[in-house]
Every structure is written in structure tokens, then in C-alpha cells.
Structure 1
Amino acid sequence: MRVVCIAEKNSIAKAVSGILGGGRCTRRDSPHKYIKNYDFSFDFPFAGLSNVTMTSVAGHLTGLDLDPAHAWGKCPIPTVFEAPIVDTRTKDQQKIADNIRKESRNADYVMIWTDCDREGEYIGWEIVQTSLQANRSLQGRVFRAVFSHLEARHILQAARNPQRLDQRAVDAVRTRMEIDLRSGVAFTRFLTELLGSKIERDSNGKKKQRPVISYGTCQFPTLGFVVDRYERIRRFVPETFWYLQISIANGSETTSFQWDRGHLFDRLTVAVLYEMCVKSADLKAEVVDVKSKPTSKWRPLPLTTVELQKNCSRFFKMSAKTSLDAAEKLYQKGFISYPRTETDTFPNNMNLEALVEQQTSDSRWSTYAQNLLSGNGTNKFRWPRSGKHDDKAHPPIYPIVSCGQSLDNEAEKKVYEYVTRHFLACCSEDSKGHSTTITLKWGPEKFTASGIVVLERNFLDIYHWMKWETTKELPHLEIGQEVELATHVMKDGTTSPPNQMTESELILLMDANGIGTDATIAEHIEKIQQREYIKKKKVNKQTYLIPTSLGIALVHGFEAIGLEDSFAKPFLRRQMEVDLKLICDGNKNKNDVVNEIITKYQEYYGLTSRNQNKLIDVYNNIKSIM
């Protein structure tokens, strides 16, 4: 028997063939210089001992486009919503397809080794269609390996427990691709023809050619979040507030108590309350409540892609794209598990202690890992907390083996260190302490002070980005005790605007609103920077995302037309993601979802076309004041 195995990347093909071939495989070139063919023998359950060729693609094997009759400038824009769609290939994709057809021609079976997510299912389907072009007898003789990392036992288990491709996931991806293509082409052509030449003239020669003003179903809601924050700041009007504060002696220092009402915006009301307290109690306050209890700082949940991107942005000032690219490289090198996952719960059958054991050889955290396993001290190995998300495809992100000092790339070093520290923190005890809260009553008003004593740091010793410190010790008081005030004052303050958007905040907003997937969030942020809808601005040590005049004009232009809820807000894209999940679950079919959403976009296009002067007016107004 002959089995052809096809992975999503050459690095995966090389790693898997080395494992399945037991280190005994030969390498052949393919028509594509970066794609190799690896030959070896393996005993598959569906084929027995077989001659195997393992090769790969380089991501998607095909693209989607409109037929040539509907190319830019060859048809009225509205016709793209119903134009025929054709599969396309670049020159590199054609070389890879030629290799797959050649290797499949005499094959008895094909086994797909693409990533186990929706996109991976679709790429697997593209591979199958290409194989069938060369060998129709492969119909029904296709299997797929289910795997999430490149550890040898895991890969062998995947090879011995083959599954089938999920056609519903394929349909969901095809649905999203068709909707994105039709809507993107229509509105990109419209916006570019309407505003492109004007923006080129306004650039005073800085732009050498007419810019493309692109539209994307994820790009615009992402831009909308940044513009919304910018406008909240621009329109912010500071307000003065007033509040009361008291303090009592605590040895040689004082302890401040905060007003339970927080603050009020009516000065007269606060002044009356202050006067009532002074007249009725003078400098005396009564202890009305003392609460003292154990407290904990919870260790982090198992690591997801969004959390990885958000925290690498916060801790290392690393863009979402850079952190995900580094994680992909670490996965391909076999150092970490698959980095594109929504799952924050480890499956019960995983041997996490063995993964901790792998880290005892790294001097940066060897002592910590050894103490976890030995149980010395208060910090013992504990099974990680379970979150609420499970994509049923991949476990959370975790380190497979110790990389020691073998990494040269700085981004990869930082991402690997973060993944490892996060994993060890997940497998640790929560940090434990003791909290005390004291409430005083001064006249008719109540005031509170709180303090924490950290007793066991535990996971905080490895996860040093998270802070939880012992506060200043509170005085020892009892309920009913009368205390003398050291100070009592009425103060004022002013409300402050929010800060501009950071990338970590934007990632959280996109994730919470279903804009993009854990795997594509970074791409959408990168795209609106490339299109010059937003720019980065560094203030002190923090980097913020600021909308450009073009970005602001696009959002406000569609608001003026009446499409703010459809374009710059997340509602339309979020509903599409719901529909895609229904397709995956078998509760909706591809054609119904495509027709329903494309019909909406046809209506939006008609409204935009009739009101195009509003887009121009808004652009001119924004440009004149920025």
C-alpha cells in the first residue's frame, strides 16, 4: 500500500515524518524549493505496513476571486454580489499543487495533517480536491490526523487513530470567504473610486499612486473601536466632584479611611454632610465593623491565543502579529503546543507533571519546577483551573520541551518564556493572604479602610508580571471602640478622560465582540495600520493606537449614511460568526447564510451609493480640522 500524508507546513511534515519513520526517512525535492517530500514506512490501521510519502502545502492551496469578466473596471460594482466565483492559484500554489497531484497519482490513501481548526479543515479539503484531480480512486479513502503538538507519542497516537475531515467546518469557512470576498470587493472598489484620487491629491505628493481604501467585515469594526475611544476622549468634559476623607493615628503614621459614598458632584450636599459630621461627632468616630478573613490571588487560567497576544502586548510591548508569528515558529520547532486555540481547560488525560518535569533542566525555573513536583514548601503541583471555553480542537497553549538557551530570535525567546511561566503558574497553588476591612462611623457617614497581608506567594514567584503585595498594616480595632480622628477633610477632584486605546485593550474588545478569531485578530489590527486608518503613538513607555483623519472619516461617513450599526460596530460580524457556528453544528446550511448576508450587503451598497456625497462631505470636514 502507498499512503500520501500532507501537512500544512514543511516544518510540520519534516517533524512528523521523522517521528513516524523512526528517524529513517529519505528526502526528495519538489517543484517548490521550500517544499520537500519525505519517504519512509509506517503501519497504519487502515492500510497496514505501507510506503509513505509525507509532503506539505504552505497554507491555503487556492484562493477565491471573481471571474475575469468581473475584474476591477470591467463591470458595474453592484454586479459583484452575484458574479461567478472561481478558485485561483498563485505560481507557488500551482507548483505545490503539481507536487500533490504527482505524489497522489499512485496512492492508495491520503492522510491530511493540517492544523485541527476550521481553517485547517478547509485547507485539508483543498488538498483532497487536488489529489482527486490526479486519482479519482482516492474518493472515500481520505483520513485526517488529529493532533495539537509535535511530541512523539502524541503524533504516533494521531497516526494510529485517524478521523475524517469535517465537511461542515469546510462549509463554514467557504461561507465566510465568499461573504468577505463579495462585500470586500464591492465596498473597496466603491470607496477607492470615490475617495482614492482625493486622498492622493491631499497627500501633497507623499503617495506615489492612488491608495486603495479597503473594506473588510472585520477591519471596520476593529477601526470602529479605536475611533470610538478617540471620540470619547475628544468630547470629554471634565467635571468637579467632592468627597470626604478621614484618618486615624496608627503608631507613628496615620491610616486613611475612604468615604463609602465615593464622591458626589454636588458641592453643597457634600458640604452639608461634612458639617453634620463635625457637629454631631466632632473628632470622634465609632468602629462599626471589622472583617478579617483569608483571601487568595488566583493563578491564571490555562493559556489561550487571545490571552497570549494580549499579555505579550502588555508585558513586552509586542504587537499581536509579532507574538503570534513567534508562537507559530516555536510550535513548528516543537517547543510549544499549537498556538491557535480558544480552550482554557486542560483535558483530564494529559500528563501535566511530565511537562513540568521537562522544565527542571532550565536554570531559569528549574528550582521552581522541582519544588512543584517534590511538594517541598507551601507551593505544590495542582491541577490547573478550568475555564469556560473549549473549542474541541486543541488544548490550551503549553511548553512541550525545554528550549534552554537554544533560541536566537528575541521575540521567540520572550514568547517561550511567557508560555512556560504561565504554564508553571497554572500548575501551582494560588497565592494566599489575609484581608482586613475596618468600617468607621463618623456622624451619619461611614468610612472604610482595607489591608492585605500576603502569607504565601506561591505562583507569584514564577509569574512575576502579576503583582500582589502586602499593604500598610491596619490598626488593631474592635467593634464598638471609639477612636479619635487625626484628620477630617472635604476634598475635591476632577474626572479624567480614558486613555487612548492600547493594542491589548483592542484585542480584548475584538475577542469579546466576536470580531475575527483567535488566529486572525492580529491580521486585522495589522491591516488597518497598513491602510493608514490608524497609527501607533508612543507616550512615555506606553504605545497607543490613534485613528488617522481617514480612519475617522470612514467611520463617521458611514454613520452619516445611517450604517453605524452595520459597519463600524461589531453587530453584523458577530451575527455572521453565530451563523458560521450554526453551520458547523449542522443547524444552518451554507447557501442560506450566504444569501441572507449578501442580500443585506446589497441593501447597504444601495444606501451608500445614493448617499455618497455624505462620505465626501465628512471626509472634507474631518480633514479640515485635523
Structure 2
Amino acid sequence: MSKSLYIAEKPSVAQEFANALKINGRRSDGYIESEQAIVTWCVGHLVTMSYPECYDPKYKRWSLETLPFLPKEFKYEVIPSVEKQFKIVSGLLNRPDVDTIYVCTDSGREGEYIYRLVAQMADVKDKAQKRVWIDSQTEEEILRGIREAKDETEYDNLSASAYLRAKEDYLMGINFSRLLTLKYGQNISNYLRTGKNTVISVGRVMTCVMGMVIRREREIRDFVKTPFYRVIGTFSPQDMDFDGEWKSAPGSRYFESPYLYKENGFKERKTAEALTRALSAVQPMNAVLQAIEKKKETKNPPLLYNLAELQNDCSKMFKISPDETLKVVQELYEKKLVTYPRTDARVLSTAVAKEIYKNIGGLKNFEPLAGFAAEALESGSFKGIAKTRYVNDKQITDHYAIIPTGQGMGALRSLSPLSAKVYEVIARRFLSIFYPPAIYQKYALELVIDKEHFFANFRVMLEAGYLKVADVPGSKKKPDAKPKDGQAENASGDSEEGSADSAQKNMDNPEFIAMLGTLKKGAVIPLKSLAIKEGET
């Protein structure tokens, strides 16, 4: 009786396939077998590229005479530490009773490369080979992937790109590491006084990133802070204070002056003091509201997470490295909680959008977001998601965005606190796309006293929209931090240290918000005081 062989990238993934296929057969050394099927696994890479000395013993000694090393045909070998598992897998691939091989390694370039190398070394022939391409490890997705598996030749281009990338890495590493070590290794050793020749490692990615780090470090070391001085006026309409920032404008005594650091600051404190003295001499100290602009602003939910965006937010919120984020989200993927992590897409596919209610429904069992998930389902907003910017098949190469599967909730209890937080971040971003935009009322004020202009900006939230679900409690950096409905926030300032004016007065006072709405052009507003604030680049 012929059998199908399923080969996964890791033992844990192989077990998920066995569970989905209801394979309850005997577990042997390196595989699981029943009457109908066999499930086996790699342990990461089983095969690697051979070092130059395997081509010719002369390459073992590093010498300029043997460079560049550019083999016409590349050699490969089994990694000694996993040779036992390779022999098991190789034997299964070539067993006479196996007629179909299902390739279940990770659905990406590296997973494809891992299997192709094994099949190449095992010399697999006369077997039907099918590729299982899945976006999560839920039972439903695994069975779909097997059911819709395509012939392995459909992925030949992906395989070719994987081989090419590996050869590029290999040739650059072998040749440039040897060349630079032979040329400069001894000089570095002499400088460091190590007593032996220093090996200089070169890599396609490693060296480029190292160069970026070094250039940035040199900029930091060479940077000299430049102080500058801003003039801040405190205005008091109807006995409610707010701050306005002076900026140089046409008609100002300092318009395009060499004393300016930028349009809103001076190079020297004495110049700022001269301005405050001149304005303080004007009596009464009243400013005229020369312009007031009121407009509504709509802020839509952001696109979903890809790996890079998630790593960026986790770095800001939880102070963890990109590698740590990848490990966490890989764990969530293997526990069936989220979809495939190594994706560059930030949208969903049309096919997934049709059944997205299942993902939402599963989150009703996730206590922190149960109410939001229920609300999203009740509103029915998910029904039109396919017509929005969050669904676009053309923007998906291998996998769609990282989203919660809505399954595997039992695994939440075994997660570390950090993993649970990352899962919540992903789930909040996902649910937010089913909520309406946040709506703000923006006010931009321009006040003039003695031909000098002061500016103040406010933003009042009218409707929280998606922000009520997007906010991440307990994070150091909230990606969509928000004031409460009806609360104002000061929106002025620039990015330099000391220049943002965040401590605006009366920000949470409803009467102050109401007062903003009553201000009219030409209104006379008392200037209560002037202050100089020092900042630095």
C-alpha cells in the first residue's frame, strides 16, 4: 500500500500536521507513521555548502594566490551534528512505498531552500512532490494547505532565488573575509596587541549593517549640541491661559535676521531677552487674534502589521530587539495564535477577508479585547472590509499581514508576560481596522502684538473611533496614544529637544475647549507673561 510522506521543518510543526491529519500511528526515531501516512521533520538546516578545502586541499591555507575562489559547480554536505536525522529523512524520501511527498517546511524562501537541499542530497527521483503553503498552523489552515497543495515545480523560481542568495552570501564571505584578513589582519592584531592574526569577517548583510552602525556612531561622536532660545507668551482669554510660541514673520523686527537660529528661536539668549523687553514695554500687553483656522481632521486606522512594523513598535513599546520580537511572534505562530510572521505585507487577501469574521469571533475568548471583538461583529463592519485599503491581493507576495487566528486561546495561559503583550498588540491593531476613524477638531491661532507673531495649535478629539481599541495599556510607547473625547492637546512645537510645548494649560478643562470655539478673528487677548525657554539640537 502506497503512503504519503509529510516533511516539516521542525518536530513541533510535524506534530501539528500529524494532529491535523489524525495520524495516531507509532512514533519512531525521527518520524511518525500510520497505515496511510508518514510525518517526518528536519531540525532546521540538514545540508550546507561545503568549504573551499572540500574542492581542493590547497584552499585550506589562506593565500592571495588562490583568490578569488569561484567554483563552477557548488558542493554541498550534510551537517555533521544532524547527520542522523538526515539519514532518517533521506531513507523515508526514497522508501518504495512512498509515492507522494508533501513539502511542509515554512512557507517562505528559507523553508523552500531547506527542503530542496535535503531532496538534492537524498537524490529523490520518481516521486510526486507537492508544496503545502499555509499562513498559520491551525488545523483548518493545515488541511486547506494539503488539500490545495501545488506541484513543487510551481515554486522553482522561489527555490532559484534561495540558491542564488546562498551562493552570493557564500562567495562574498569566503573571498572577502580571506582577502581582508590577509591584507589587514596582522595590522589589526598589532594595533590590538593580540599576538595573533585577526580574522576579519565579511558578509553580504553583516558588513553593510556594520557600516551603517559605524557611520552613525561617528556622527554621534562628532555631534556638537547647539543651544537656542525660544520666546513663549502666555495668553489669557476669559481668564483661561494657553501658551503661544513666537516665530519670525514678515514685519517682525527679526524677520530673516542673522540672530535667528530658526524661525522660532535665537542663537543667543540676549537676543531673546531683548525681544521680551521690547514686548513688555507695550502697554497694555494685548494681542490681536489675527487669524484662527478651524478644521476637522479624520485619522484612519493604520494598516496591519508586517514583521518590520511589528518589530519597530515592540522596540518602542517594550524596549526589545527586533530579534526578540521575531522569537516571540514565531512562538505565537507555532502556538496557532497568529499567522505566519515573516511577511512584508500589511494587508489581507481577498480570500481571507471573506472569512475574517472567524478571526474576530475567536477574539471574543480573549478577555482584554472580548468586548471590542463582540462590538465589531455586531456592527457588521467586517462585511465591507474587502472594499477597503486593508485588502489588496496585489500587495501580497508570499503571505498576508500578521493577524490573530482567533484560535489557540488555550495556549495563552502558557505565554510569558511579554509574549502575551505582543499578542495583544497584534490583536488590537487587527481589530482597529473594523472601527471608524478618529475625528478631531483642530484650531490654529495666530496672535500679533507690536508686529510680532505668536502661534498656538490645539486638537480636540470629537470621536475616538478606532483609538479606543488601538491603545495598548501598560506600554512605554502607545502607538496611537490619545486624549479622552472632548479633551484638547497642544499640537505645536518641533522635534528638537526643549522645543515641544507639551504642558499646555487647561488642556482637560471643558470650559477652555468651549472658549476655543467662541474665539473670533480680531479678538483682543491679554498677554499675561513672557518666558524664554532654552532648547538644544
Aligned runs of 1:394-409 on 2, under 5 Å? 394-400=399-405, 401=407, 402-403=409-410, 405-409=412-416
CA apart distance, 1:302: 0.7
Distance 1:136 1:387, change over 3 A: closer
Contact (CA 8 Å) 1:323, 1:411: kept in 2 or not?
Answer: no
Query: Which residue in 2 is equivalent to 1:63?
Result: 48
The code of the aligned residue for 2:6 comes to: C
Query: Which residue in 1 is equivalent to 2:259?
Result: none
How many Å separate the matches in 1 of 2:342 and 2:167?
23
How many Å separate the matches in 2 of 1:211 and 1:457?
59
Query: Which residue in 1 is equivalent to 2:86?
Result: 97
Query: Which residue in 1 is equivalent to 2:5?
Result: 4
Aligned runs of 1:481-500 on 2, under 5 Å? 481-488=523-530, 491=532, 493-496=534-537
Query: Which residue in 2 is equivalent to 1:222?
Result: 209
CA apart distance, 1:305: 0.6
CA apart distance, 1:451: 1.3
Aligned runs of 1:429-578 on 2, under 5 Å? 429-462=436-469, 463-464=471-472, 465=478, 466-469=480-483, 470=487, 471=489, 472=507, 473=512, 475=516, 476-488=518-530, 491=532, 493-496=534-537
How many Å separate the matches in 2 of 1:404 and 1:280?
70
The code of the aligned residue for 1:36 comes to: Y
SS in 1 for 2:162: helix
How many Å separate the matches in 1 of 2:223 and 2:314?
30
Partner of residue 112 from structure 2, selected from 94, 117, 121: 121
Question: Is the deviation greater in 163-172 or in 379-388?
Answer: 379-388
CA apart distance, 1:478: 0.4
Over the aligned positions, Cα root-mean-square deviation in angstroms equals 3.4
C-alpha deviations, 1:176-228, integer Å up to 9, x for none?
A: 211211221233334445666676787788x9x87643221211222233223
CA apart distance, 1:2: 2.6
Aligned runs of 1:70-219 on 2, under 5 Å? 71-73=59-61, 75-76=63-64, 79-83=67-71, 85-105=74-94, 106=96, 107-131=98-122, 133=123, 135-138=124-127, 141-165=128-152, 166-192=155-181, 212-219=199-206
Distance 1:403 1:420, change over 3 A: farther
The code of the aligned residue for 1:372 comes to: A
C-alpha deviations, 1:426-446, integer Å up to 9, x for none?
A: 333333332222222334443
C-alpha deviations, 1:389-413, integer Å up to 9, x for none?
A: 8342111111221246422434433
Given the alignment of the two structures, is residue 392 of structure 1 paired with residue 397 of structure 2, yes or no?
A: yes
Question: Is the deviation greater in 357-366 or in 381-390?
Answer: 381-390
Question: Can you give the 5+ residue segments of structure 1 that lack an aligned partner in the other structure?
Answer: 41-50, 497-626
Given the alignment of the two structures, is residue 362 of structure 1 paired with residue 366 of structure 2, yes or no?
A: yes
Larger-Rg structure = 2
How many Å separate the matches in 2 of 1:259 and 1:9?
62
* Identity %, equivalent residues: 21
Contact (CA 8 Å) 2:232, 2:533: kept in 1 or not?
Answer: no
Query: Which residue in 2 is equivalent to 1:499?
Result: none
Partner of residue 372 from structure 1, selected from 350, 371, 376: 376
Query: Which residue in 2 is equivalent to 1:519?
Result: none
Given the alignment of the two structures, is residue 416 of structure 1 paired with residue 457 of structure 2, yes or no?
A: no
CA apart distance, 1:360: 1.0
Query: Which residue in 2 is equivalent to 1:53?
Result: 38
SS in 1 for 2:4: strand
Partner of residue 286 from structure 1, selected from 261, 285, 288: 288
How many Å separate the matches in 1 of 2:9 and 2:300?
38
How many Å separate the matches in 1 of 2:64 and 2:197?
20
The code of the aligned residue for 1:352 comes to: I
Question: Is the deviation greater in 72-81 or in 466-475?
Answer: 72-81
C-alpha deviations, 1:492-540, integer Å up to 9, x for none?
A: 63433xxxxxxxxxxxxxxxxxxxxxxxxxxxxxxxxxxxxxxxxxxxx
How many Å separate the matches in 1 of 2:286 and 2:382?
48
Count of aligned pairs between the two proteins:
471
Question: Is the deviation greater in 455-464 or in 113-122?
Answer: 455-464
How many Å separate the matches in 1 of 2:93 and 2:288?
85
If the length of structure 1 is used for normalisation, what is the TM-score? 0.67
Contact (CA 8 Å) 1:347, 1:395: kept in 2 or not?
Answer: yes
Distance 1:345 1:198, change over 3 A: same
The code of the aligned residue for 1:117 comes to: G
The code of the aligned residue for 1:225 comes to: M
How many Å separate the matches in 1 of 2:70 and 2:11?
37
Contact (CA 8 Å) 2:307, 2:341: kept in 1 or not?
Answer: yes
SS in 2 for 1:292: strand
Query: Which residue in 2 is equivalent to 1:37?
Result: 32
CA apart distance, 1:284: 3.6
Question: Can you give the 5+ residue segments of structure 2 that lack an aligned partner in the other structure?
Answer: 249-262, 473-477, 490-506
The code of the aligned residue for 1:79 comes to: L
CA apart distance, 1:29: 1.9
How many Å separate the matches in 2 of 1:460 and 1:477?
29
